[in-house]
Structures are given as C-alpha cells and as structure tokens.
Amino acid sequence: MHPMLNIAIRAARRAGDVILRGLEQRHHLHVEMKGHNDFVTEIDRQAESAIIDTLLTAYPHHSILGEESGKRTGKEPFQWIIDPLDGTTNYLHGHPQFAVSIAVKHNNRLEQAVVYNPLTEELFTASRGQGALLNNKRIRVSNVPQLQTALLGTGFPFRETNWLDTYIEIFRDLMLKTSGMRRCGSAALDLAYVASGRLDGFWEFGLKPWDIAAGTLLVLEAGGLVSDMQGNNDFLEKGDIVAGNLKIHKQLLEIIKPHLK
Ligand code: IPD
Ligand code: CA
Ligand code: CA
C-alpha cells in the first residue's frame, strides 16, 4: 500500500472514532449555522483536527484544504483535501449515512483517496493507477448499460437555491427515464457507491472540493467517468458533478445538457 494512503486511512479512522463518540451525545452538541441549512458541530472540528494532526505529523510540509479550517500552504506540492464529516445533517438526526473523506493531490492530480463510513466500517480506498477497493477487495463501477434500468444518486440544492428550477426540470426528466433516484445526504458516499456499483450514476450541483475529491478518484479508479454537467474537467472547482459508469455518464450528460442555460 502507498505510504500516503496508509496515513490517510489512519487519519480517517481517528476521525471516525471522534464521530462515533459524538454520535451518542448528538442531542447535546453545540450546533452552529455557517449559512442557510449549513450546520457545523464541535465534532466536525475535532474530527478535522484529528485528521490534520495525523497528516502533518507524517508530512509536515504538505498543504491542507479542510472544510472547517480552510487552507494551509506548505512547501511541498502535495495538498490534502478533507471533509471530516460529510453528511452532518444526517449525523445530527442519527440518520446512518455519513463519512470521512480525505484525498491528496500532487501537482493538482488526485493521487490517493479514502472515504470511510465509521458506522458500517466500510473503507473505500483508491490509489492512482492501482484501482479502487472496499475493505481491501477490488470494486468496479456497475455494467448497467441503459438509464431505464439505472439507479441514480443525487443531492438536492438545499443551500443555494439559484438553480432550483433547473434542478427540478432535470430531476423530472431523469425520474421518468430511470429506475429510481436516491438522496443519501453524503456526496462522498454517493460517489463511493458509484465506484462500487451500488449506484449506476450520480449528479449534483454546487458541491465543494472536499465533498467530491476522494469520491472522484474512487470512481475513476473503479473504471467510471466524472465531469461537470457539460462534460468538462473543472468540476472540482465548479462543484457541479456528473459521475457514472461510461454508458450512464454519457446518457446523463445527454439529458442534463439541454437544461443548462
Ligand atoms: C453535504 C453532503 C450532502 C450534499 C451537500 C454537502 P456536509 O456535505 O455531501 O450530500 O448534498 O451539498 O454540502 O455539509 O454534510 O459536509
Ligand atoms: Ca461535505
Ligand atoms: Ca462536512
């Protein structure tokens, strides 16, 4: 295993321990609102500190982009992209879909990825060029060839509502042309599920790099495709994302594109 992946796993497990301990006391947590429907608790912050502490102990000169603590620039061309708790709203309700997401980029290319669900102990990992794994077993995207038989994941635009109308139009179109749509509440897990064939595709507007960096490498290494809604490559910065097996990704773009103004 690549040493950086090993460190990322250690960091994710430490964050997972913080998250599980906090889950028992979730009714007593101090919850702040960063924006409309955007919650943060001391657990998000403690989990992120545990991750950063683990990463910087091993790699003191690397850069960090963390959801809760922002950017830290180091001397070496490695940047860790961290979502300590993806699915905070679920977590606050005891709804069991949330995960830790950690990826590292080298010179702007995703190299290692971990998405860890501490409740189910499912550990999704990927190293560039080495494939993707779930609990050390190889995973692949599904081979469902047609939208009609596809199960898709999505996320609702519940924070920024500028694209709500466009979203609903696309949703309507896809609802009529697929076998179903799921909204799990953790984009990192959605992408991990695409990588492992539990979902055939995924689409969401307005995400942040920490929501999708690790999941993106999982999908790519599992043989899938990821792009923005136009089919371009700048989705990490833009935050609009379409992922799927090769056929479903293509068909999703064909349906989504005409709705974009
Ligand atoms: C959120 C989750 C959710 C997605 C939101 C994200 P958070 O992350 O990934 O599925 O729909 O847009 O912000 O805030 O729970 O880390
Ligand atoms: Ca997130
Ligand atoms: Ca988060």
Last residue of a domain, one of 139, 170, 186: 139
* CB 86 near ligand 1, within 6 Å: yes
Considering the domain architecture, whether residues 157 and 195 belong to the same structural domain is answered as yes
The strand order across the sheet containing 70-72 reads 70-72, 63-66, 78-86, 99-106, 109-117, 122-127, 131-134, 137-139
- Of 117, 139, 161, the residue at which a domain comes to its end is 139
Number of domains in the chain: 2
User: Residue 25: is its pLDDT beyond 90?
Assistant: no
| Residue 118 pLDDT exceeds 70 | yes
Q: 198 with 106: CB under 8 angstroms?
A: no
Query: Which CATH number is 222's domain given?
Result: 3.40.190.80
Q: Where does a domain end: 120, 139, 158?
A: 139
Q: Are residues 9 and 134 in the same domain?
A: yes
The pLDDT of residue 28 is 80
Same structural domain for residues 85 and 151?
no
Lowest mean pLDDT among 40-44, 221-225, 237-241: 40-44
pLDDT band at 8 (very low <50, low <70, confident <90, very high): very high
Predicted local distance difference test score (pLDDT) of residue 211: 98
Same domain flag for 47 and 77? yes
Pocket flag, ligand 1, residue 224 (CB < 6 Å): no
Among candidate residues 258, 253, 252, 93, the one with its CA nearest the CA of residue 185: 93
Looking at the structure, do residues 219 and 240 belong to the same domain, yes or no?
yes
185: tokens are 């509440």
Please check whether residues 33 and 79 belong to one and the same domain.
Answer: yes
Are 18 and 103 contained in the same domain? yes
pLDDT for the residue 166: 94
Residues 191, 131 share a domain: no
Ligand 1 pocket mutation pick from 51, 152, 205, 207 by most atoms within 8 angstroms of CB = 207
The string over 84-108, giving b where at least 16 C-beta atoms fall within 10 Å of a residue's C-beta and e elsewhere, is: bbbbbebbbeeeebbbbbbbbbeee
| pLDDT band at residue 22 using 50, 70 and 90 as cut-offs | very high
- 249 and 177 inside one domain: yes
> What pLDDT shows up at residue 37?
67
Question: Ligand 1 within 6 A of 88 CB?
Answer: yes
Element holding 164 (H helix, E strand): helix 164-177
* Residues 245 and 171 placed together within one structural domain of the fold: yes
Q: Residue 163 has what pLDDT?
A: 83
pLDDT at 34: 76
Q: What SS3 class is residue 151?
A: strand
Could you read off the pLDDT of 119-164 as tens digits, one per residue? 999 999 999 999 999 999 999 999 999 999 999 999 998 777 788 9
Give pLDDT tens digits for 73-114.
Answer: 999 999 999 999 999 999 999 999 999 999 999 999 999 999
The CATH number of residue 112's host domain is 3.30.540.10
- Looking at this protein, which amino acid is placed at residue 174? L
Do residues 130 and 217 both lie within one domain?
A: no
Distance 90 CA to ligand 1 centre (A): 9
Round to whole Å and give the CA distance between 189 and 213: 12
Q: Counting atoms of ligand 1 from 1, which one is nearest the CA of 208?
A: 13
**Does residue 186 line the site of ligand 1, with CB under 6 A?**
yes
Task: Judge if 85 and 166 occupy the same domain.
Answer: no
Secondary structure element (H or E) that encloses residue 173, with its range: helix 164-177
Global pTM reads 0.96
The range of the structural domain enclosing residue 9 comes to: 3-139
Between strands 151-154 and 180-182, the pairing is parallel
